Amino acid sequence: MTHDGGTPPRGPVTAEWWQSAVIYQVYPRSFTDGNGDGVGDLAGLIARLPYIASLGVDGVWLTPFQPSPQVDQGYDVSDYCGVDPLFGTMEDFDRLLDLAHSLGLRILLDVVPNHCSSAHPLFQEALAAGPGSPERELFHFVEGRSSSPDSRSDLPPNNWQSVFGGRAWSRANPDSETDTEWYLHLFSAGQPDWNWRNPAVGDYFENVLRFWFDKGVDGLRIDVAHALFKTDGLPDAPSESPVVDGLRSNPLVSDQEEVHEVYRRWRRLAEKYQPHRLLVGEVNLEPARAARYTRRDEMHQAFAFAFVRLGWDAATWAEVGTELEAARKLHGAAPTWALENHDIVRSANRFGSAELGARRARAALVALLGLPGSAYIYQGQELGLPEVDVPVAARVDPMWARGGVTRDGARVPLPWTQDAALTHGFTLQEPAADSAVAPWLPVPAGWGDYAVDLQEQDPGSLLATVKDAVALRRRLWEDGLFTADDGGTWRVEAGNLLLCERSPHFLVAVAMGTEPVKPPAGVVLFSAFPLAEDGWLQPGNAAWIRRN
Ligand code: TEU
């Protein structure tokens, strides 16, 4: 909700586009199904690019659509430079890129350098080549341990556990008595880890980057960016917890010094192009360590994972925000904000139940868009989609299959129409066959209540509010009220009023308590919900405040 207040001219800023960017994350298989097979695809995305452009965002991050057996919904890549037929063709991608650019949208792709699919030709060649072959040096093939004098390599080489649960090792050829090597996979057995200590791996991926950069792709989101190098010798972990997950920088696996040279090389490569290509890291580490990946000669951005998963708690937001600001001052890059993605529970469910959670999610998204740095919106977040309790029989997440949580609940196809036909408009057309195909994940009852067509008719909807917030944010950058030098001074005032001062002229306020609170002095330029008659913030409201 925009409030009359204008903004003092402070002259144009010279921020790089990505420093003020709002990026929309698309999970293609759940965005729009163009051919009626129940799975989202590039044709469907092309048809709905104008919708994304209508949000006023600067670009789109596409999660993987490259050829893959889909063991981990595409994060098991078997060809880094292709398009899986499930999503369409390379011609479809070229059309998508051209249309996006014509709409003023930049396109970021996902690159998955930590591991590939076990169906990748180079891994298949390694399996066939056997122990001691150069082909196996591209991956981590290691002789196992023996549980007794008369057994051989019946135990994995170390005690590392997979992020998805269970061992992080599988036998290369379980039935062979001569090939007794195991291979490392920090995720599923269908995702063997590359051996980044072999220079051939780095050369391989620089060719992958050139392929997409040459096509005009504007940047890359780098999957599990901090985990490429493992400690030499692959020693046992101190405990049998997943060795790469969580915000601790695990010296055994993630956050090894050698990985920074990779990103210095990638930054030099990215800057050979005009405009420079963007590098965005999934660096799931605490702020001080994650910020090292965004030094001026490495990545441009790294998601503020310490913030991404937070619940509704003012003190924690202030504590994490302060850590992120300290890291920014140390290494120079503003945080890259997100509250949702395809891996975590929807914020409406993390912040409370039903209406309360939805109200807080709306306030949190408005607050996020007022913070200094780039902001990412995950598809459906602009609609207020809640987490879906996908029926057990319909769950497909390999994390669930290996005993972990299921991430399917945040991956359910988007509702485009209130009308339930064609899965609320997720599918654009009936399939060639005479019977409609069910979507790859079922949508819940009431899903149409969040639909795009419903919210586009309501000026007070979350969708309308997000569009207004993004538009005002852009204006404030152009007017110079927002600058690339803005920081973040966080504090909590009485009544759990969370404040983030990005400059002496602007702050974000979030009413995270249970009572109405009076906002700080200044002009309220924007708020997630209408202010109370006395100008106070009701619980679960957020405001952007200008100070002269
Ligand atoms: O996620 C890396 C990662 O750490 C997540 O697996 C997270 O820990 C997990 O989802 C629990 O929340 C990236 C991708 O975003 C994810 O979708 C892939 O499954 C994973 O890498 C493997 O490529």
If you take atom 12 of ligand 1, which residue's CA is the nearest one? 343
Structure-token pair, residue 231:
């400690």
Split at pLDDT 50, 70, 90, the class of 247 is very low
**Each residue of 104-142: pLDDT tens digit?**
999 999 999 999 999 999 999 999 999 999 999 999 999
The CA-CA-CA angle for residues 6, 12, 18, to 5°, reads 105
| pLDDT at residue 12 is higher than 90 | no
Does residue 54 carry a pLDDT above 90?
yes
Alpha-carbon span 403 to 449, nearest angstrom: 33
| Per-position DSSP letters for 277-311, written without gaps between them | PEEEE---S-HHHHGGGGSTTS-SEEB-HHHHT--
Question: Is pLDDT of 433 > 70?
Answer: no
- Closest residue by CA, ligand 1 atom 8: 245
User: Pocket of ligand 1, candidates 224, 253, 341, 399: which has the most ligand atoms within 8 Å of its Cβ, to mutate?
Assistant: 224
Specify the residue with its C-alpha closest to ligand 1, atom 22. 75
Asked whether the predicted pLDDT for residue 381 surpasses 50, the reply is: yes
Provide the H-helix boundaries in 215-270: 259-270
**Which atom of ligand 1 has the smallest separation from the CA of 284?**
4
Q: Once rounded to an integer, what is the mean pLDDT over residues 371-390?
A: 97
Confidence band (pLDDT; 50, 70, 90) for 2?
A: confident
- Unique residue bearing structure tokens 């076990």: 118
Say yes or no to pLDDT of 437 above 90: no
Q: What is the DSSP string of 371-390?
A: SSSEEEEETTGGGTPPP---
The predicted pLDDT at position 97 comes to 98
Protein residue whose Cα sits closest to atom 18 of ligand 1: 75
Q: Is 378 in the pocket of ligand 1 (CB under 6 A)?
A: no
CA of 401 to the centre of ligand 1 (A): 14
Average pLDDT over every residue of 209-237: 95
Atom 11 of ligand 1: nearest residue by CA position: 343
- Which string of b and e fits 171-208 if b means at least 16 CB within 10 Å? bbeeeeeebbbbbbbbbbbbbbbbbbeeeebbebbeeb
- Supply the DSSP string of 333-353, one letter for each residue: ---EE-S--TTS--HHHHS-S
Name the nearest CA neighbour of 219 among 258, 266, 264. 266
Ligand 1 atom closest to Cα of 244?
Answer: 4
Separation of CA 270 and ligand 1 centre (Å): 25
Cα(333) to centroid of ligand 1, in Å? Answer: 24
What are the structure tokens assigned to 116, written together? 């590939």
Q: Which amino acid is at 148?
A: S
Pocket flag, ligand 1, residue 84 (CB < 6 Å): no
Give the residue, 415 or 7, on which the prediction is more confident.
Answer: 415
152 is written with which tokens?
């051989």
Whether residue 282 lies in the annotated active site: yes
Averaged confidence pLDDT in the chain: 93
**Range list of H helices, 89-145:** 90-102, 121-129
**Is 223 an annotated catalytic residue?**
yes
- pLDDT tens across 352-378, in order? 988 999 999 999 999 999 999 999 999
Q: Is the pLDDT of residue 422 over 90?
A: yes
- pLDDT digit string (tens) for 74-113? 999 999 999 999 999 999 999 999 999 999 999 999 999 9
What CA–CA distance (Å, rounded) separates 162 from 465? 40
* pLDDT tens digits for range 295-336: 999 999 999 998 998 999 999 999 999 999 999 999 888 999
Atom of ligand 1 nearest to the CA of 344: 12
Q: What is the pLDDT of residue 7?
A: 46
Of 84-98, 161-175, 426-440, 525-539, give the lowest mean pLDDT range. 426-440
CA 400 to chain centre: 19
Residue 245 beta carbon below 6 angstroms from any ligand 1 atom: yes
pLDDT at residue 249, as a whole number: 54
Q: Is the pLDDT of residue 203 over 60?
A: yes
Domains of the chain (ranges; CATH) run 1-111+380-456 (3.20.20.80), 121-184 (3.90.400.10), 485-546 (2.60.40)
Nearest protein Cα to ligand 1, atom 15: 343
With the most atoms of ligand 1 within 8 angstroms of its CB, the residue from 62, 163, 228 to mutate is: 163
